């Protein structure tokens, strides 16, 4: 059974005549890494916004565990069901790394034991030490911020992890580290990891690749690999 | 719970922004605290004074009402008929006054009798009128003939200063003598002694209700005639010099205002009007003298007018009704009418008039303070709202992130409102402290200015009428310190109220409330908290609208 399924999803922006996404039908399962690739303007980030519940399709349906998300409260969907790693991280600069992670746990409304301990463990797991975890976001490097964003996305235990160009701004070694984290999440923790990327390395490591193409005439999403 | 934690974290990590908001709220809080404290001081002073105030009232002939009634009944103006009607309208007798004293609202009733007497020639009354005895006698005769006209003048006059005998009503008392005997029904009727303007300096006051011919005289009269306690003085009926009464002096009193006020003011009319020539005794004793006088009086009838006149001593009774509360006083009118009081009589209280006058500067200040308060609220509210709008726009990204990670928009709005509430409350607590400490001196300073301005306006008005300035001892405003002043009891009980109603030039000197002891109380604090909540909600409203309108996707897309 698919964890997340798009059925004939199309999307166009409010004041635009053209569809960014047209008739997309993708399936995502737990335990796999999915890569969504495509040229700029193909609709990769739009697709991620749809998957993360930040916007709703113009037509078509998105199913979570075969339940139409149309009937779901999108705030609780975002805070509990999916963990998103944004391209520009979207962390709160006035908070420390650990506070950013704890905030997401608070917002999810789920009950946790010692939140600070859990957050610290998560940050350690993604490669940040205690000292770095207590620093404010602006005092961390891009790679460190990326790790914090991943830790935040994992903090409340979502089964789906969405990442937008998670390795885009990182050096080769850090890229490998991050991809290793995603691999473990998918393979060891049986999560469904969906990555929007340009990177051939990431694409290489993905189990399934979906390509988005600019195509006004018909479907613009194709399954490429498995 | 995490909303509060976040809010507090946000306050502590954006110090400059929150200090700026805090300073604005602090200024609003201090100004509001002072304004509300002034209003509260005025209200509590009013309330406390009214609680302590025992209202006194008198019933007097209402000439205006009679005139109105006359014109509507007769359908026109007839001076002679009107004069006749007013002449025939008698002052209330003691018996009638006692009927109205039975009203439920009346707490106590006391009265004085006033009669004019002559000396027996062995001693003299103090006379600063400059009128010789012959002139005085001829004046007395003319008074006797002109009883009606003098009496009419006296009828409409209000008895000012409580139970003090009204000199303008002397025309009803027959021929004017050298002295005035005032008979008091009880100690309560001796308002000047209760208020402290008069006090016994030698001997003691006669027994309350005694029918012995015992009296107290003024120290001026005693010094003038070398009288001492225990001496016996003889007074005579001005209509019949053969009819004399012997009174034993049991006490000598001193009146603080005697010689400065009434002497100068009234001495121009007759010696008997001079307060120094007033002989005080019990009403019972005076009543005994009057009964004796009536028994030996001769009655004659004028052939032309048919009017009868008697040589008996005339008595002018003045009654004072005492009420526990203002409500009782207001109720009394209804009750008195039910008991048969004619519409030709009116009930009035000098206490309430003096109370209203004394409160005038504080009330004015309170009114201005409330206008100031409203202006501060409006301006403060606008500044805070604008500041909040900028604040929210600046935090747009934060709103986008919070919404993106699934925090509901209303929770974001609550967090921002909580932040503002916390800053507002801290500022209000500090502001209330500063305001409370400053409100008393500020209020007193403003009150002083207000009284100065009020006094100066009145003095200018008098100067415009060419009446010059008030005597310095009367022009001063004696601090009444109402809430804690012990003298307020005496003021409340006595007919004097708060106002020192003496005048030489036709204007009154009012004892203004010029001090307040405390102003900021629980009510002010609660109101300030209300102001804080109101300001926060109004200024947050715009912020909330912004938060609800923001789309996280757009915010983040713009940023990227």
Q: Are B112 and B182 in contact (CB under 8 A)?
A: yes
CATH number of the domain to which A190 belongs: 3.40.50.300
- Those residues with Cβ within 8 angstroms of residue A131's Cβ, 6 or more apart along the chain or in another chain: none
Interval A138-160 mean pLDDT: 91
The residue ranges of DSSP E strands in chain A, in sequence order, are: 4-11, 21-24, 27-28, 33-38, 59-64, 67-68, 82-85, 160-164, 192-196, 208-212, 221-225
Tell me how long chain A is.
226
Q: Which residue has the tokens 């509001």?
A: B32
CB count within 10 Å of CB A207 equals: 16
Inter-chain residue contact A92 with B408, CB threshold 8 Å: no
Tell me how long chain B is.
560
A85: nearest CA in chain B? B405
Look at residue B198 and give its three-state secondary structure: strand
Encode pLDDT of A162-221 as tens digits: 999 887 767 777 788 888 888 999 999 999 999 999 888 888 889 999 998 876 555 566
C-alpha B231 chain-centroid distance: 41
B494 closest CA partner among B55, B120, B66, B145: B55
B11: nearest CA in chain A? A94
C-alpha B134 chain-centroid distance: 44
Distance from CA of A140 to the nearest CA of B (A): 18
Question: What residues pair up with B321 in beta bridges, in sequence order?
Answer: B57, B109
- Tell me which of B448 and A121 has the higher pLDDT: A121
Inter-chain residue contact B404 with A90, CB threshold 8 Å: yes
Give the residue numbers spanning the domain of A67: 4-225
Res B523: pLDDT: 84
Q: How far is CA B148 from CA A144, A205, B62, B85, B151, in A?
A: 111, 126, 17, 12, 5
Distance from CA of A226 to the nearest CA of B (A): 31
Inter-chain residue contact B406 with A107, CB threshold 8 Å: yes
DSSP string of B448-507? HHHHHHHHHHHHHHHHHTT--PPPHHHHS-----TTT-THHHHHHHSTT-S-B---SSS-
Q: How many CB pairs under 8 A join A and B?
A: 57
pTM: 0.61
DSSP string of B84-126? HHHHH-PPPPHHHHHHHTTSTT--EEEEEEEEEEEE-SSS---
Q: Which residues of B touch A55 (CB under 8 A)?
A: 553
Q: Are B159 and B166 in contact (CB under 8 A)?
A: yes
Inter-chain residue contact A108 with B560, CB threshold 8 Å: no
Task: Please classify residue A90 by burial: count the beta carbons closer than 10 Å to its beta carbon, then call 0-12 exposed, 13-18 middle and 19+ buried.
Answer: buried
- Those residues with Cβ within 8 angstroms of residue B67's Cβ, 6 or more apart along the chain or in another chain: B82
B487 closest CA partner among B194, B57, B107: B194
Res A96: pLDDT: 94
Nearest to A75 among B401, B406, B556 (CB): B406
Element (H, E) at B162: none
C-alpha A99 chain-centroid distance: 20
Half-sphere exposure of B168 (CA within 13 A, CB side): 10
Inter-chain residue contact B406 with A95, CB threshold 8 Å: no
Percent of the residues in chain A that have a pLDDT greater than 70, as a whole number: 94
- State the Cα–Cα distance between residues B368 and B523, nearest whole angstrom: 19
- Those residues with Cβ within 8 angstroms of residue B93's Cβ, 6 or more apart along the chain or in another chain: B317
B399: nearest CA in chain A? A92
State the distance between the two ends of chain A, measured CA to CA, in whole angstroms: 17
Which residues of B have a CB under 8 Å from any CB of A?
Answer: 2, 5-6, 9-10, 13-14, 398, 400-408, 552-553, 556, 559-560
User: What ipTM, to 2 d.p.?
Assistant: 0.90
- State the Cα–Cα distance between residues A95 and B483, nearest whole angstrom: 55
Q: Which residues of B touch A94 (CB under 8 A)?
A: 9-10, 13-14, 398
- State the Cα–Cα distance between residues B344 and B89, nearest whole angstrom: 8
Annotated domain spans of chain B: 16-52+357-461+470-501+509-559, 110-324
CB count within 10 Å of CB B386 equals: 12
CB count within 10 Å of CB A43 equals: 23
B410 closest CA partner among B227, B224, B214, B550: B550
Q: How far is CA B245 from CA B158, B217, B276, in A?
A: 32, 15, 20
Q: Are A35 and A202 in contact (CB under 8 A)?
A: yes
- State the Cα–Cα distance between residues A9 and B280, nearest whole angstrom: 111
CB count within 10 Å of CB B96 equals: 19
Distance from CA of B370 to the nearest CA of A (A): 42
Q: Which two tokens stand for residue B10?
A: 């946000």
Q: Which two tokens stand for residue A135?
A: 């620093």
Inter-chain residue contact B406 with A152, CB threshold 8 Å: no
B407-442 b/e (C-beta count within 10 Å ≥ 16 → b): bebebbbbbbbbbbbbbbbbbbbebbeebbebbbeb
- Those residues with Cβ within 8 angstroms of residue B107's Cβ, 6 or more apart along the chain or in another chain: B54, B322, B323, B324, B328
Element (H, E) at B216: strand B214-218
- State the Cα–Cα distance between residues B220 and B339, nearest whole angstrom: 44
Tally of structural domains, chain A: 1
Inter-chain residue contact B10 with A94, CB threshold 8 Å: yes
Half-sphere exposure of B376 (CA within 13 A, CB side): 22
Q: Per-residue confidence of chain B (560 residues) as pLDDT tens digits? A: 888 988 998 888 888 888 988 998 899 888 888 888 888 887 777 777 777 777 888 888 877 766 666 555 555 556 666 666 666 666 788 888 999 998 999 999 999 999 999 998 889 888 776 554 444 444 444 443 333 333 333 333 333 333 444 434 444 555 678 899 999 999 888 888 888 889 999 999 999 889 899 999 999 999 999 999 999 999 999 888 888 999 999 999 998 876 554 444 444 456 677 888 899 999 999 999 999 998 888 888 877 777 778 888 888 888 999 888 888 888 998 899 888 888 888 888 887 777 777 777 778 888 888 899 899 889 988 888 888 888 888 888 888 899 999 999 889 989 988 998 899 889 988 988 888 888 788 877 777 777 777 777 777 777 777 665 544 444 334 333 333 333 333 333 333 333 333 333 344 455 666 666 666 778 888 888 888 888 888 888 877 887 788 877 777 666 65
Q: Which residue has the tokens 């909580």?
A: B418
Distance from CA of A122 to the nearest CA of B (A): 17
Inter-chain residue contact B407 with A75, CB threshold 8 Å: yes
- State the Cα–Cα distance between residues B75 and B53, nearest whole angstrom: 44
Res A30: pLDDT: 93
- State the Cα–Cα distance between residues A124 and A146, nearest whole angstrom: 13
Encode pLDDT of A27-81 as tens digits: 999 999 999 998 888 888 889 999 999 899 999 999 999 899 988 888 999 999 9
Nearest to A49 among B406, B553, B559 (CB): B553
Dihedral pair phi/psi, residue A90, rounded to 5°: 50, 50
């Amino acid at each position: 059974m698919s964890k997340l399924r798009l059925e004939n999803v199309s999307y166009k922006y409010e004041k635009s005549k053209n569809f960014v996404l047209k008739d997309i039908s993708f399936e995502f399962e737990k335990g796999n890494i999915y890569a969504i690739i495509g040229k700029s303007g193909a609709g990769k980030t739009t697709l991620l916004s749809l998957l993360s519940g930040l916007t709703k399709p113009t037509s078509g349906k998105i199913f979570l565990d075969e339940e139409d998300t149309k009937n779901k409260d999108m705030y609780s969907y975002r805070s509990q069901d999916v963990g998103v790693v944004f391209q520009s991280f979207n962390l709160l600069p006035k908070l420390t790394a650990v506070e950013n992670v704890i905030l997401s746990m608070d917002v999810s409304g789920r009950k946790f034991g010692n939140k600070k301990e859990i957050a610290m463990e998560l940050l350690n797991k993604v490669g940040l030490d205690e000292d770095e975890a207590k620093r404010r976001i602006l005092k961390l490097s891009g790679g460190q911020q990326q790790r914090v964003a991943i830790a935040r996305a994992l903090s409340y235990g979502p089964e789906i992890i969405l990442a937008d160009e998670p390795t885009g701004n990182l050096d080769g070694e850090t890229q490998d580290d991050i991809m290793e984290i995603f691999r473990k999440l998918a393979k060891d923790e049986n999560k469904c990891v969906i990555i929007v990327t340009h990177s051939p390395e990431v694409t290489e490591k993905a189990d399934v690749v979906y390509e988005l193409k600019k195509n006004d005439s018909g479907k613009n999403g194709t399954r490429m690999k498995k | 719970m995490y909303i509060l934690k976040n809010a507090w974290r946000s306050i502590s990590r954006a110090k400059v922004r929150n200090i700026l908001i805090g300073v604005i709220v602090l200024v609003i809080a201090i100004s509001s605290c002072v304004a509300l404290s002034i209003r509260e001081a005025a209200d509590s002073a009013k309330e406390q004074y009214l609680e302590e105030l025992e209202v006194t009232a008198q019933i007097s002939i209402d000439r205006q009402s009679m005139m109105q009634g006359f014109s509507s009944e007769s359908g026109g103006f007839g001076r002679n008929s009107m004069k006749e009607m007013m002449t025939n309208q008698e002052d209330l007798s003691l018996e009638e006054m006692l009927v109205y004293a039975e009203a439920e609202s009346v707490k106590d009733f006391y009265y004085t009798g006033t009669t004019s007497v002559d000396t027996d020639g062995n001693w003299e009354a103090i006379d600063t009128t400059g009128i010789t005895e012959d002139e005085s006698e001829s004046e007395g005769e003319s008074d006797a003939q002109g009883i009606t006209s003098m009496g009419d003048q006296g009828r409409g006059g209000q008895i000012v200063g409580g139970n003090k005998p009204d000199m303008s009503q002397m025309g009803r008392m027959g021929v004017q003598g050298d002295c005035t005997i005032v008979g008091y029904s009880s100690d309560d009727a001796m308002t000047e002694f209760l208020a402290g303007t008069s006090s016994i300096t030698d001997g003691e006051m006669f027994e309350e209700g005694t029918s012995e011919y015992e009296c107290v005289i003024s120290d001026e009269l005693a010094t003038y005639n070398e009288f001492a306690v225990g001496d016996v003085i003889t007074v005579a009926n001005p209509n019949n010099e053969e009819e004399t009464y012997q009174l034993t002096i049991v006490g000598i009193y001193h009146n603080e205002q005697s010689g400065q006020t009434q002497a100068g003011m009234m001495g121009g009319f007759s010696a008997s009007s001079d307060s120094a020539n007033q002989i005080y005794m019990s009403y019972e004793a005076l009543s005994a003298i009057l009964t004796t006088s009536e028994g030996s009086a001769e009655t004659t009838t004028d052939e032309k007018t048919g009017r009868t006149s008697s040589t008996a001593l005339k008595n002018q009774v003045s009654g004072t009704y005492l009420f526990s509360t203002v409500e009782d006083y207001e109720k009394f009118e209804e009750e008195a009418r039910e008991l048969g009081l004619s519409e030709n009589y009116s009930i009035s209280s000098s206490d309430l008039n003096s109370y209203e006058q004394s409160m005038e500067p504080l009330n004015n200040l309170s009114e201005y303070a409330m206008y100031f308060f409203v202006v501060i609220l409006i301006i403060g509210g606008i500044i805070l709202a604008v500041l909040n709008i900028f604040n929210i726009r600046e935090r747009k990204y934060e709103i986008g992130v919070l919404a993106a990670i699934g925090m509901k928009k209303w929770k974001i709005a609550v967090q921002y409102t909580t932040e503002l509430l916390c800053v507002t409350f801290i500022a209000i607590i500090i502001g209330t402290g500063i305001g409370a400490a400053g409100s008393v001196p500020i209020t007193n300073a403003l009150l002083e200015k207000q009284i100065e301005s009020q006094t100066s306006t009145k003095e200018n008005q008098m100067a415009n009428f060419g009446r010059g300035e008030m005597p310095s001892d009367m022009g001063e405003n004696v601090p009444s310190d109402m809430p804690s002043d012990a003298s307020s009891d005496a003021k409340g009980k006595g007919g004097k109220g708060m106002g020192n109603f003496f005048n030489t030039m036709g204007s009154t000197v009012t004892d203004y409330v010029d001090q307040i002891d405390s102003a900021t109380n629980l009510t002010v604090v609660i109101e300030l908290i209300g102001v804080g909540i109101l300001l926060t909600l109004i200024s947050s409203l715009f912020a909330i609208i912004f938060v609800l309108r923001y789309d996280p996707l757009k915010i983040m897309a713009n940023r990227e």
